[in-house]
Amino acid sequence: MVAAKTYTQALVASILLISPLTLQAQQIKVNAPREYAAGRPFNITYSLSINDNDARIVSNPNLHGLDLAYGPAVSTSSSVSYINGRMSSQSSTEVTYTVVGDQEGTYSVSGFKLHVGGKDLSAPAVTIRITGGGNTQRSSSSIKESHGAEYHYQASISKRSVYVQEPLPVVYTLSSTESPQINDVKPPSYDGFVSLDLLGNTQRQMRIERRGGRDWAVVDIMKDLLFPQHAGKLTIPSAEISVRYTLRDASGDPLLNQVVPRTYATSPIEITVKPLPEEGKPADFSGAVGSFNVRYETKQNDWKTNEATTLKIILEGQGNLKIAKLPKLSLSNDIELYDPVEHSDQSYNGGKLHSVRTIEYNLIPRKVGVVKIPSLSISYFNPATARYETTATEALSIKVKQGKNENIQTTIHSGADGNDSMPSGVIDNGNDDSAFNPNLWQLILTHLIALVGGIIGLAYLKKHYSYTDDKLRVIADKAKGVAHKRLKTARQYLNDGNRDAFLEEILNSIWGYLGDKLRLPLSELNRNNITELLISREISTEKVNELVALINQIEFARFAPQTEDNSSEHLYELVVEVIAHLENKL
C-alpha cells in the first residue's frame, strides 16, 4: 500500500514537471518584415503548432500607429500519423493581419494572445521600421487568403509629380492566383481632377502573367486619364472591388465548398501638382498643356467668286486640346465668313493622349483677286521642356477666279497706278440711260435668281433638319421596342443555356437603348457621357450609379461562375427593371 502510494505521488510529480515544459514548448512564432516601404501593405503572421484544434484569439495585436488593412485571416491545418501502431495528431494555426504604415518611423507590434489548452499564450513583440516610399508608383491591397489564393488590387500611375492640366493615367488592376470572380466595382470619386474613361464600354480582357513561378489571372478593371485642375497636393482616392472565392472543404466534397465574399481597396495616392510658371507666359497663352502643331487645310487651291468653299484650322498633338482658347480667323470684308463648326477627337495609345481639334469655316469669296490669309499662332506649355512654346500656320495666298455664269466682276487688289481698276466684263456703250443697259438688267436678273435660289435652299435645309430631328425622335421613341427585341433574343439564349451569348445580348440591349434614347452616336456612347446626360435629365445620381454598376456586373460576369447575385436570370430581371425605370423618367 505504501509502495502504491509512493508510486502515485511520483507519477503526479512527473506530470506536474512535464506539463510546464509542454506549455513552454508551445510558443507563438511571428513572421513580419523588419523593414518596409511607406504606403505599401504587408503581412504579420502568427503561427502555432498544437495538439488540438481548440485555439482561439484572445486579443488582437496593438499596432501602435500602423493601420489595419485586413484581418485577422485564420488558417488551420491538421495531420494524423501512425508510428508503431500508435496514432498521433498534430494541428497548426496561422493568424494573418495585413497592415500599412503611411508615416516613416519605427513601430512596435505587441499584445497578440491565443487561448490554447486552457492557457493564454502571448506572442513576442516585433519591431518594424517604415521607410520612405521612394519612387514607388503603386498603391495596392495585397492579401493572401486562408485557402491559399492571393489577390492584388492595385492602382498604378506613371509619376507622382505633374503640372496643372498635364494628363496622368491611372490603371486599376486586379491580379489573382485563381480566376477572378468579380461581383462589383466601386470607382473612385475624384476631387480636383477632370477624368476621362479610357476603357469606355469595351469589354475587359483577362490575361495570364507568370510571376514568381506562378500563373496569375490579371484584369485591368479601370483605366482613367486624370487632368489636375489646380496646383498643390491632390489625392487619388481609394477604389474598391468586391470578389468571391471558393473555400474548398478539406474532405474534397465540392458540395461542402463555401463561396466567401471579399472586398479589396487600393490605398490613396498623393501626387504633387506644379503650377504653370508665370515667367515667360505669353499674353495669348491658349491654356493647352502638351505638345502641338497647327496648320491650314483647304479643298481647293483656287477659289471662285460666289461659290462656297471651306477653310480648316487643324490643331493636333499630345495633350488636352478641348480647353485650348483659339484665336478667331480674321479675313477681309471681300470674304463672306460664316460661324465655324468644331470637331474634337481623342485617342490614347502608347501611354500618350493624342488629340485633334478641327475648326471648319465656310466662306464665299465675292471678288476676283488674291486672298491673303495671315499666319495663325497658338501658344501652349510643354511639360517635357518646362517652357512655353508657340506653333503657327503658314500664311496662305489663294487666287480667286471668276465663278460660273458671271459677267460682272470686280477685283480685290488695286491697280498699279493706285487707282481702282475698272470692273471687267462691263460693256460701256456710252448710253447714260441705265434702263436700257442690258448688263444692268442681267445683273438684276442674276440677283433675283440668287434670291429665289436662297429661299429654296433655306426651305430645303429647314425640311432636312426637321427630317433629321424627326428621325432621331422616332429612333428615341422606338428605343424601348428595340431593347425588348434584344431582350427577347437574350431570353432565347438563356433558355438554350448559352450564357456567353446571353451576357453579350443583354449588354447590347442596355448600350443600344441608351444610345437610341439619348440620341448618342456609337463613337460617343460611353459611361462618362451617359452619366452626364442622365443626370442632366433629372435621373437621380443613385439610379445612374446603379446603372453603371449593372453594366460593370454584366461585363465581369463573363469571368465568374454563376452565383446568386450574377445568375443569368437575376441579371435579366435587373436589365428589364432598369430599362423600365428609365423609360418612365425620360
Secondary element (H or E) of residue 298: strand 285-298
pLDDT band of 51, cuts 50, 70, 90 = low
Phi, psi of 183 (to 5 degrees): -105, -45
Other CB atoms within a 10 A radius of the CB of residue 150 amount to 15
How many Å separate Cα 49 from the centre of its chain?
47
What per-residue confidence (pLDDT) applies to 554? 85
Residue 395's pLDDT is what? 92
Q: Of 250, 275, 300, which marks where a domain is finished?
A: 275
Reduced to 3 states (helix: H, G, I; strand: E, B; else coil), residue 463 is helix
pLDDT score of 152 more than 90: no
Domain span at residue 40 reads: 24-133
Task: Answer yes or no: is pLDDT of 265 > 80.
Answer: yes
Domain end marker among 386, 412, 438: 412
Interstrand relation of 309-320 and 352-365 (parallel, antiparallel or unpaired):
antiparallel
In a domain, 247, yes or no: yes
Which residue in this structure is represented by grid cell 506562378? Answer: 214
Confidence of residue 433 (pLDDT cuts 50, 70, 90): very low
Same domain, 208 and 144: yes
pLDDT digits (tens, 9 = 90+) for 390-412: 999 999 999 999 887 454 444 44
CA atoms within 13 A on the CB side of 423: 11
Same domain membership, residue 125 and residue 34: yes
More confident residue, 437 or 7: 437
Which has the closest alpha carbon to 505: 586, 571, 559?
571
Provide the residue type at 501 as one letter. Answer: A
Residue 5 lies in a domain: no
- For residue 434, is pLDDT > 80? no
pLDDT at 439 over 60: no
- Per-residue pLDDT at 297: 92
Asked if 215 and 187 touch (Cβ cutoff 8 Å), the reply is no
**Per-residue pLDDT at 435:** 45
| Whole-number pLDDT of residue 347 | 86
- The string of DSSP letters for 129-153 reads EEE--TT--EEEEEEE-TTS-EEEE
Q: Are residues 543 and 495 in the same domain?
A: yes
Residue 16 has pLDDT above 50, yes or no: no
Average pLDDT over residues 546-556: 84
Q: Please tell me whether residues 158 and 257 are part of one structural domain.
A: yes
- Tell me the CATH number at 161: 2.60.40
369 lies in the same domain as 328: yes
Identify whether 235 is part of a domain. Answer: yes
Predicted confidence (pLDDT) at residue 421 exceeds the cutoff of 50: no
Q: CA 385, CA 468: separation in Å to the nearest integer?
A: 48
Query: Cell 442632366 maps to which residue?
Result: 536
Average pLDDT over residues 363-373: 89
| pLDDT recorded at residue 45 | 87
The highest-confidence range among 9-18, 93-102, 450-459, 554-563, by mean pLDDT, is 93-102
Contact 391, 292 (CB under 8 A): yes
Domain containing residue 312: CATH number: 2.60.40.10
Q: Which of 12-21, 197-206, 423-432 has the highest mean predicted lDDT (pLDDT)?
A: 197-206
- Quick one: pLDDT band at residue 429, thresholds 50, 70, 90? very low
- Give the integer Cα–Cα distance in Å for 438 and 55: 115
- pLDDT-based confidence at residue 535 (cuts at 50, 70, 90): confident
**Confidence class for position 168, pLDDT limits 50, 70, 90:** very high
Residues 147, 270 share a domain: yes
- Domain assignment present for residue 421? The answer is no
pLDDT of residue 272: 94
pLDDT at 125 over 90: yes
Predicted model pTM: 0.49
Helix (H, G, I), strand (E, B) or coil at 440: helix
Q: Indicate whether 3 pLDDT > 70.
A: no
Q: How confident is the model at residue 92 (pLDDT cuts 50, 70, 90)?
A: confident
**Coil, helix or strand at residue 579:** helix
Is residue 12 a part of any domain in this protein? Answer: no
Same domain, 257 and 321: no
Predicted pLDDT at 463: 53
Residue 447, phi then psi, degrees to nearest 5: -65, -35
Q: Is the pLDDT of residue 461 over 80?
A: no
pLDDT over threshold 60, residue 583: yes
Percentage of the chain exceeding pLDDT 70: 72
Report how far residue 168's alpha carbon sits from residue 149's, in angstroms, rounded to the nearest whole number: 32
Same domain, 107 and 158: no
- Binned at pLDDT 50, 70 and 90, residue 417 comes out as very low
Question: 374, 396, 412 — which closes off a domain?
Answer: 412
pLDDT of residue 115: 85
- Indicate whether 19 belongs to any domain: no
Distance (Å, whole) CA 542 – CA 557: 22
| pLDDT exceeds cutoff 90 at 147 | no
* Helical (H) or strand (E) element with 71: strand 67-83
Please give the pLDDT value at position 252: 67
Q: Are residues 172 and 71 part of one domain?
A: no
Is 50 exceeded by the pLDDT of residue 100?
yes
pLDDT digits (tens, 9 = 90+) for 471-487: 445 555 666 777 888 88
- The answer to whether residue 137 scores a pLDDT higher than 60 is no
User: What domain count does the chain have?
Assistant: 4
Lowest-confidence segment of 335-339, 341-345, 420-424, 456-460 by average pLDDT: 420-424
How large is the average pLDDT for residues 74-82? 63
**At 549, is the pLDDT very low, low, confident or very high (cuts 50, 70, 90)?**
confident
The predicted-structure confidence for 271-283, as pLDDT tens digits, reads as follows 999 999 999 999 9
Residue 1 has pLDDT above 60, yes or no: no
Q: Measure CA of the first residue to CA of the last residue in the chain; give whole Å.
A: 99
pLDDT at site 79: 58
Same domain for 201 and 315, yes or no, is: no
DSSP string, 535-553: HHTT--HHHHHHHHHHHHH
Contacts of 25 (CB under 8 A, 6+ apart): none
Closest CA to 578 of 554, 546, 553: 546
pLDDT score of 171: 92
- Tell me, yes or no, whether 446 lies in a domain: no
Q: 129 and 153 share a domain?
A: no
- The model's pLDDT over 112-123, given as tens digits with 9 standing for 90+, comes to 998 887 888 899
- Residue 343 within a domain: yes
Interatomic CA distance for residues 80 and 488, integer angstroms: 57
Of the candidates 238, 270, 45, 267, which has an alpha carbon nearest to the alpha carbon of residue 141?
A: 267
Residue corresponding to grid cell 489548452: 117
Distance CA 380, CA 547 (A): 39
Is the model's pLDDT at 219 over the cut of 60?
yes
Nearest to 389 by CA among 287, 291, 277, 278: 291
Tell me the pLDDT tens digit for each residue of 564-579.
Answer: 656 788 888 888 888 8
* Section 125-141 average pLDDT: 65
Closest CA to 235 of 268, 265, 267, 266: 268
Q: What's the mean per-residue pLDDT of the chain?
A: 77
Q: What pLDDT does residue 132 have?
A: 67
The predicted structure's pLDDT at residue 263: 84
Three-state DSSP at 307 gives coil
Which of 176, 195, 166, 167 lies closest to 386, judged by CA? 166
In this predicted structure, which of 102-111, 134-143, 222-231, 424-433 has the lowest mean pLDDT? 424-433
Tell me the three state secondary structure of residue 107.
strand
Per residue in 477-517, pLDDT (tens digit) is 666 777 888 888 888 888 888 888 898 889 888 888 898 88
Residues 107 and 189 in one domain: no
